[in-house]
Every structure is written in C-alpha cells, then in structure tokens.
Structure 1
C-alpha cells in the first residue's frame, strides 16, 4: 500500500485520550495512523486499532525509531518492541525520527538496519524524518527506496529548500505540524480564504498542503475536528488562494529541539 495522503497524527496524545482519538478517527474513515516510539502511545494506538473492527489490510500504520535505537544492533529489536505494543506483525512504514545527533550513528548503519527490518517483514516501507538537503542526499546515495521525508511544513514554515530538493530527487514529503499548533488558524489571510470557500481555516491549510502533493497527519482529540479535517480532501483552492498562503512564509519553526535538530537549510 502506498502512503495515504491523509492520516491522523498522535503526537502528544497519551493514555485514554490517544485511544479515543484514534478510535474516533478510524470510525470516521481515517485509514492512516502515525505514531512514534518517543510518543509513548504505541500501546494505546494498538488498542484502538485492535478494537476498531477495521481490517488490518485496510490500514496504513507508521511508527518512528527514536535516536537511542538507531544503531545496527538496536534498531530491529526496538522495532519488534514497537510491534508488540502496537499488536501488529508489521507496520507499513518505519521512519528514522531524527537524524543521529552529531552523526554518532552513521546513517548508512541505520538505513542498513531498516533494510534488514524490511527484508524480515517487520515493515513494509522505510523512510526518514527531519532530514535536511544534505541528509536526504546521503540517504538516497545508499540506493534504498525511501517512502517519504516527514518534515515540519506549514504556511509559516514552508521549508522551500528542502521541498525543492526533495522534488528534484523524487522523494515524497509528509507535512507534520501542518497547522503550526493552531497558530496559522488565526491568520487573517487564512480566515478570509476560509470565508470565501465556506470552509474552516484548518480545512484551508490542510487543502493547501494536499494540493502541493504533501501527505498530512493532523491530530485532534475532538470528533468534530477530526471529521471536519477529513473534509479538507474535498476542498479545492484557487491559484490566488494558494499564492496568498504561499506569501505567509516567515521561517517560523515550531520543532527545533536543542541537541537534536540538525543544521536546518
């Protein structure tokens, strides 16, 4: 199964809140669920999937390997632990969550371990997250097929160098924090477009990302928001709408953890 363009994210969701969010999303028709080892909610995601009644073959599940598990001897065992928590025999996509800080673990070693996990049937596809232009080139130089680079992308941080380079290299992009923690929803330009389109600001921003070919994985704890976000797939923005949102770029990065983030482009 190829990476679905629309999914539900689970960042910052814990305990029963995570279970309920994923359960509601699946009931509404979401079929892509994105989680990560560091989120601490793989077990809850697994519980929601197990109780959803949705056939496994209809779902696309993504998880991400944390930085302390990137070495060749740790990655596969850690992915098996993730599968145990998720109650799955295989995830559809496994990502390197962040590049190894300071290059402590060579990228080729990590990608080799991911390829080993893929060959063993533990993951259907492999990919990367938070990779810069140089890191994308280094990863692609291995010759391994990478499904996506998941990066922060929203109207206030359009990551143009990474986007342009990924397109040149034929690497798909997934947008995370597409709504910038809700900051962009208060923008006057976004709100004006929403009024013209008889849509919500969130639908407008998600449609903007989708129309550029990005996959999106918004999250919410409210069923109404989950349902509303899903309808962004039906919205078509005009060239003028797109240009107005494109003009909002201000290099306003939300995810920039000290000691973890690479040297951004």
Structure 2
C-alpha cells in the first residue's frame, strides 16, 4: 500500500462553516427518519421497485441538502450503465456513495454486514438488493455473494448495477491502496462487464464526514471492461484506470499530487 497526501493543506473551518455542517447533519438525520418511515408501507406492498423509488427520493434530497447547507455541487461525467453489470468505484467519502447511486437506475451495493443492521435504512438496503459481506469468512463470503448474484441474474428482476469498492475502505485524496480480489472473483463467477468509476469527492467531503467544504465534486463513469478480458490483465487495468482518472479529476480541482 502507498499513501499520499495533498501538498496544500487547507486551513481550519470558520465558525459559519462549522454551523453549516451541523445544520446539514441535523437536517439529513430528520429527513432520513421521515422519508424512511413514510415509505415503509409502500415498500412492504410493492417490494424492490418501491424501495428503489424511495431511495431515489432520499438520495436526491440528501444531495439537495448538501447544496443548500454546504454549497457542495455534484457533476456526473461519462455514461452511467443501465443494464446488469458490476460498478467498481474509488471510494473517498459518503458523498461519492450518494452521487454514484443517484446516477444508476437499479443500484445495489456490496456492503459490510453491520451496515445492513441499521434500523430503517438497513431494511431499505435489503429491499433494493444490497448484498451483505462477512469479511471474516474470506473466500467463502465471496462464493456466497457470487451465488446470490447469479440467482438474481436468472430472476425476472435481474441484478441491476452492483456497486463494489475494490480497495475495501474509504481513502484519502491521493492515497493509493492495493485492490482486493473480490471484484475479480465476482467478474469471473458472473461473466459481467465491470464499469470503473473515478471520483474526486474526498477533496470536499472528508472520510469521516465532518468538515465539509464548498466545491464541485465529480464522479466519472469510465468505459466498461468486457468480461472477455484475460484474468491476469483485469486487475492491473482496473486499478490503473480508476487511480489515474481519480488523480486527474483531483488535479483539475486544484489538488497537487506530490512527486513519487
């Protein structure tokens, strides 16, 4: 693993920015509770389509609240996929989760099992098709996920766009970690195309979510990597495309990568 940090460290937040951060999280918490509770009966009756609809409204509201309180604007580049595929994304913060999910019509995440146990929103995650992973089970966990994915591909609803973070965790801007083998294993087991995604959202929204700064966060969907690509070439290409394009987006926003 190699880590790199910005050569120009921003100064501390001013009192007004602290207040705006606080207002956003209070607003977001109340809105999440209200939207989640109001939507429960509808989702109980209509299942995954209704859950996706409620999730879309909630995500849109969160992005609107971020613009209102924090002056964070979001831009999508490239062409978001619409069919069954794996979406492999750089992950820097909560904001890139929202932006990627908002761009996809039938999104679902591979996420930590603990997140699925969060009241209300964890239930929605189950309903939209998110798949929990128990990291302590290693390869057995990946085999179980691959089985679920193939079952959904064979179902009438299909899979949709399954989002996975190859690094396995949030990273600081400019930080490059080794990619875990899960995305490659799923690709081989499902024969699905993989869509790489580059982001720069961590420049404005810190990993831990406090101290958000104004700016334009960009998420870029890159050309899909076809399932026919040889196994040994896939992971190096995926990592190179995500990291190089994420670095490019951050440099466009004024981030200065230190020399290696």
TM-score normalised over the length of structure 2: 0.34
TM-score normalised over the length of structure 1: 0.33
Greater RCO, 1 or 2 (C-alpha within 8 Å, sep 6+): 2
